[in-house]
Amino acid sequence: MSKRQMIIGMHLGNGYGALAEAWRMPGVDPRAYTSFDAKVRQAQAAERGKFQFLFLPDGPHAAGGDIRYEPSGFNLDVMMTLAAVARGTERIGMVATGSTTFNEAFNLARHFKALDIMNHGRTGWNAVTSASPEVAANYGQRIPSSADRYGRAHEMIQIVQALWGSWGKDAWVADPETGEYAKDEEIAPINLGGEFVASRGPLYIPPSEQGQPVIFHAGGPSPNALSLAGRYASGFIAAAFTIEEARAQRRAFREATERAGRDPDEIKFFPGLMTTIAKDKRAALDRRITLTGRMFPQRAMYLQQMLGVRIDPARLDDPLSPEQLSRAHAAGGDPRAVRALEVARDGWSLRDVLAHGVIDYQPVVVGPVTEVADHMQEWFEAEAADGFWVIPDVYEGGLDAFVDGVVPILQERGLFHLDYEGTTLRDHLGARPQYGVDARVTG
Amino acid sequence: MSKRQMIIGMHLGNGYGALAEAWRMPGVDPRAYTSFDAKVRQAQAAERGKFQFLFLPDGPHAAGGDIRYEPSGFNLDVMMTLAAVARGTERIGMVATGSTTFNEAFNLARHFKALDIMNHGRTGWNAVTSASPEVAANYGQRIPSSADRYGRAHEMIQIVQALWGSWGKDAWVADPETGEYAKDEEIAPINLGGEFVASRGPLYIPPSEQGQPVIFHAGGPSPNALSLAGRYASGFIAAAFTIEEARAQRRAFREATERAGRDPDEIKFFPGLMTTIAKDKRAALDRRITLTGRMFPQRAMYLQQMLGVRIDPARLDDPLSPEQLSRAHAAGGDPRAVRALEVARDGWSLRDVLAHGVIDYQPVVVGPVTEVADHMQEWFEAEAADGFWVIPDVYEGGLDAFVDGVVPILQERGLFHLDYEGTTLRDHLGARPQYGVDARVTG
Ligand SMILES: Cc1cc2nc3c(=O)[nH]c(=O)nc-3n(C[C@H](O)[C@H](O)[C@H](O)COP(=O)(O)O)c2cc1C
Ligand SMILES: Cc1cc2nc3c(=O)[nH]c(=O)nc-3n(C[C@H](O)[C@H](O)[C@H](O)COP(=O)(O)O)c2cc1C
């Protein structure tokens, strides 16, 4: 029996990397935000590392801090970027967010299915509701209630999948000899209409090599998210700070999948992992100080809350005093506090505590390649993950360090495949094929 | 003073060419419908011919006849196709239809502006209302009244252009030395809201090489279309069957443009032209019989109405008899009847009359390259056109015949440029640059 192996996706955001000052780093194109070439190169590097997919989150709105000093975290346009990436890569899958709240079903179905044709069956749709008022404002609207958002999300996914399946597996003939172009009886309107979304169809796009795109979901384990992802998702993009939290989330999504009548192995669970890699711990911490140091005074205030002791932002070069350490505790219920306390107790200066990434949106490993591989192995073997979505600190440099440093270690340990097993995203995930009309007719 | 020269665009539809049996022709890839490579090759051929732009019409719905025998006339997905074309060409402009009726302003603005970044300022948006119930059904809606459609179209164009202009010309700095990423004061929300559409913005995309995409409109000279195109459009895609009709339409759009306070030369008028090219008339007629002959029995019935004489669809090899010719007249007010009568009087068999393309959606030239060049020269010099959107019968073969045969003749006659004068679509059209916030502030 073959050993269970992990699946790796790479975050692809604004083109620089995930950290505030990434765009200024040596070796990074400061104009990567509008450079499709840069994104294609980054995708090619991930493909060199045999990553199974790219993940492009999206608002659409401006994500991030102060535009005077740092770019929006999101991609210029996820569909246009993926079209470029599709034309510049051969095997890697590509998963983009498409809001179920602020898209017309027919438009979204068409863009994603066309991409799936273009990349020969390597597309996934991260179907999430939009919960941010900033996104709603771009559409001149307000954010609906959770019930309405998720009600619409169910209809969107059903209608989009039906549009994707408008053409049966063998509907497209295109035989110049006989003059037969398509089998009319295998192309059907969908005529679906719910409370929020409706479409008649059909969508005039034949099946791709994987039939149709794969459904992903991203978020936390809210009851609505559990039932949506449990019903439709083949991949779940998660945020979890500890092994325990990730195991609990993974278990909850597997149970939700089972409740929806599916095999729990059909949903793959991917917690995030940010990396800052250098030859040793000290060099990696220094790299991260360069990349995020500007935020440290502000983050020191969070750290004070997390540890329940007063911190002087002017004295970040000192470690916590023995007196402070005796009073410090994981305060305020933030799951990151436990790790922050651990690092502080190891005697690092406060600057280095922050440089460990104890306050960030995802778990962070700052260190040499083996430390990254160890983290992944530990989470994977504890059944806290089926794989990861990896967020390199900087694209190109920081990504290359992962691809050329961490991947070979995982492969040596038998934890990661040596090459792609197939050509489609469904192949990469082990998700079953999904076609249209004829499948519906013949069951 | 330099001589006025024509501007040429190429229709890019389903990837085969405009005629029913194009997909079956030798040299045509029968799977071109889903082949982005095929579309890139076609765009490259048009670029070899120094065409100023590609025109991709769109529903989105299935256009055309019986899917058992012929493909939908529209493109799989105009934006995904243009992304591929953007990456595979250097100079040619690209204009795609985006419905003002069934798109969210923010989504449409983002896709088109991202494309304009990708192709370095070569994008145009054909902003048309959707008038077909088949399109509405794909969105689970009905077609609104003309007043509501055009009311929304005005708001869409204004809001989309404002989103495109969210970033001032010099807002984006990205200087790694100083750490300045962008000038906050030159990036502004738009806060526009009308009766139909609203958006707060900003759109997080800096200006392209041409500032922002160029507005086109396509249709006929309805009062609503005149005032929309007169106000915003730099290019107008038209259908006109005779020089007189085209001159009248062109004049009407120029007047509408003047009424909107603009220079009438700011709107370029492009009637359509379908071509079937071969070494001589007979070979060209035969080629067109191969390409459209299946429709002839049905078209013979139209011809009967157009000429006001009984036609026997079983005897298409005969010309009209002297007795029929004496009674034949341009009947029923169809502008195409005049030309049909002319061709019938020349003594062609009824099959050949139909093969002249007298019943089609656009004027048709079936003949050798000089006949095509003569048609274009005549219309252009009669001020019936500022150029044409050309619809080759078959892509690749039929397109190559135009590029390598007609273009050199037009160039020799001084009617068409020898090379691109600039790099952007605005350059190609002579349209003035258009930027954002700073222009609004400084007037
Ligand atoms: C790892 C992760 C990735 C996410 N990616 C996106 C995204 O790309 N776009 C988006 O609008 N929301 C994204 N979200 C937000 C979630 O989809 C969701 O709105 C949020 O978790 C609130 O969920 P709830 O409404 O079920 O409580 C993401 C959340 C997480 C944890
Ligand atoms: C040459 C030409 C091209 C057109 N292209 C499109 C198109 O790509 N998409 C579309 O929905 N309508 C297209 N139309 C339809 C027009 O935009 C418009 O809906 C129609 O002319 C009715 O206009 P009215 O509502 O002003 O009467 C086209 C019409 C013409 C004549």
* pLDDT at residue A437 is higher than 90: no
For the question of an ipTM over 0.85, the answer is yes
Q: Strand A180-182 vs strand A268-277: parallel, antiparallel, or unpaired?
A: unpaired
Average pLDDT for B273-292 = 97
B373 pLDDT band (50/70/90 cuts)?
A: very high
How far apart are alpha carbons B439 and A95 in whole angstroms?
38
- Amino acid B331: pLDDT: 86
| Selection from B62, B68, B142 nearest residue B102 by Cα | B142
Give me the residue from A80, A137, A181 closest to B200, CB to CB: A137
Look-up: residue for tokens 């994977």? A380
- Select from A75, A97, A126, A148 the residue to mutate for testing ligand 1; criterion: most ligand atoms less than 8 Å from CB: A97
Whether B128 lines ligand 2, by a CB cut-off of 6 Å, is: yes
Question: Angle formed by the axes of helices A243-259 and A369-381, to 10°?
Answer: 40
- Report CB contact under 8 Å: B111, A80: yes
Chain centre distance of CA B343: 27
**pLDDT one-digit tens code per residue, A238-269:** 999 999 999 999 999 999 999 999 999 999 99
pLDDT tens by residue, B147-201? 999 999 999 999 999 999 999 999 999 999 999 999 999 999 999 999 999 999 9
pLDDT, mean of residues B51-67: 94
Q: Is B95 in the pocket of ligand 2 (CB under 6 A)?
A: no
- CA dist B127 and B154 (Å) reads 10
Please give the average per-residue pLDDT across A102-131, as a whole number. 98
Q: How many CB pairs under 8 A join A and B?
A: 180
- Is A127 within 8 Å of A229 (Cβ atoms)? no
pLDDT of residue B443: 39
Residue A350 belongs to what H/E stretch? helix A350-355
Q: What is the pLDDT of residue B438?
A: 62
Minimum-distance CB partner of B23 among A87, A181, A184: A181
Ligand 1: residue whose CA is nearest its atom 29: A219
- Distance between CA atoms of residues B46 and B55, nearest Å: 11
Secondary structure of residue A274 in the 3-state scheme: strand
Residue A88 binned pLDDT confidence (cut-offs 50, 70, 90):
very high
pLDDT in the model for residue B2 = 66
- Cβ–ligand 2 distance for B362 under 6 Å, the answer no
Which site among A14, A28, A34, A135 would you substitute to test the B interface, given the most B Cβ atoms closer than 10 Å to its Cβ?
A: A34
C-alpha distance across the termini of chain A, in Å: 31
Helix (H, G, I), strand (E, B) or coil at A198: strand
Q: B189 or A2: whose pLDDT is higher?
A: B189
Least confident among A320-329, B95-104, B328-337: B328-337
DSSP state of B4: P
Where residue A2 falls among pLDDT bands split at 50, 70, 90?
low
Number of neighbouring beta carbons within 10 Å of residue B266: 18
One-character DSSP codes across B255-303? HHHHHTTS-GGGSEEEEEEEEEE-SSHHHHHHHHHHHHGGGHHHHHHHH
b/e per residue A3-29 (b: at least 16 CB within 10 A): eebbbbbbbbbbbbbbbbbbbbbeebb
Q: Using the beta-carbon criterion (under 8 Å), do A79 and B79 form an inter-chain contact?
A: yes
C-alpha to C-alpha distance for B27 and B49, rounded to whole angstroms: 20
Cβ contacts of B141 on chain A, cutoff 8 Å = 198
- Expressed in angstroms, the distance from the first to the final Cα of chain B is 31
A168, A183 contact by CB (below 8 A): yes
CB < 8 Å to A181, chain B: 23, 67-71
- At residue B405, φ and ψ (nearest 5 deg) are -110, -55
Nearest Cα neighbor of B285 from B317, B261, B253 is: B317
Alpha-carbon distances of B234 from A164, B11, B33, B126, B213, rounded to whole Å: 36, 18, 30, 10, 10
Ligand with smallest separation from the Cα of A238: 1
pLDDT at B297 over 70: yes
Q: Is the CB of A128 under 6 A from ligand 1?
A: yes
Instruction: Find, among B378, B340, B344, the residue nearest to B243 by Cα.
Output: B378
Could you read off the pLDDT of B5-54 as tens digits, one per residue?
999 999 999 999 999 999 999 999 999 999 999 999 999 999 999 999 99
Rounded to an integer, the average pLDDT of A264-291 is: 98
Distance (Å) of CA A435 to CA A169, A206, A267: 6, 10, 19
DSSP letter (8 states) at residue A182: E
Residue A58 marked as a ligand binder:
yes
| Per-residue model confidence (pLDDT) at position A332 | 79
Q: B439 by DSSP, 3-state: which?
A: helix
Give residue A339's Cα distance to chain centre.
Answer: 23
CA distances (Å), origin A364, targets A276, A277, A309, A320: 8, 10, 23, 21
Atom of ligand 2 nearest to the CA of B56: 8
For residue B44, the CA-to-ligand 2 centroid distance in Å is 27
pLDDT given for residue A442 in this prediction: 43
State the DSSP code for A246. Answer: H
Q: pLDDT-based confidence at B267, cuts 50/70/90?
A: very high
Contact: A23, B69; criterion CB under 8 Å:
no
What percentage of chain A carries pLDDT values higher than 90?
94
CA-nearest residue, atom 22 of ligand 2: B219
- How far from B124 is each of A213, A299, A340, B16, B161, CA to CA, in Å? 29, 46, 52, 23, 12
Chain A residue numbers with beta carbons less than 8 Å from the beta carbon of B193 are 140
CA of B202 to the centre of ligand 1 (A): 22
Nearest residue on chain B to A183, alpha-carbon basis: B68
- C-alpha span between B399 and B46 (Å, rounded): 8
- pLDDT (tens digit, 9 = 90+) per residue, B206-236? 999 999 999 999 999 999 999 999 999 999 9
| pLDDT winner (highest mean) among A2-6, B58-62, B94-98 | B94-98
- Each residue of B401-435: pLDDT tens digit? 999 999 999 999 999 999 999 999 999 999 999 99
- Structural domains of chain B, ranges and CATH numbers in brackets: 7-273+369-429 (3.20.20.30), 281-355 (no CATH)
Question: Residue A238 CA: which ligand 1 atom is closest?
Answer: 1
Q: How far apart are CA A383 and CA A374, in angstroms?
A: 14
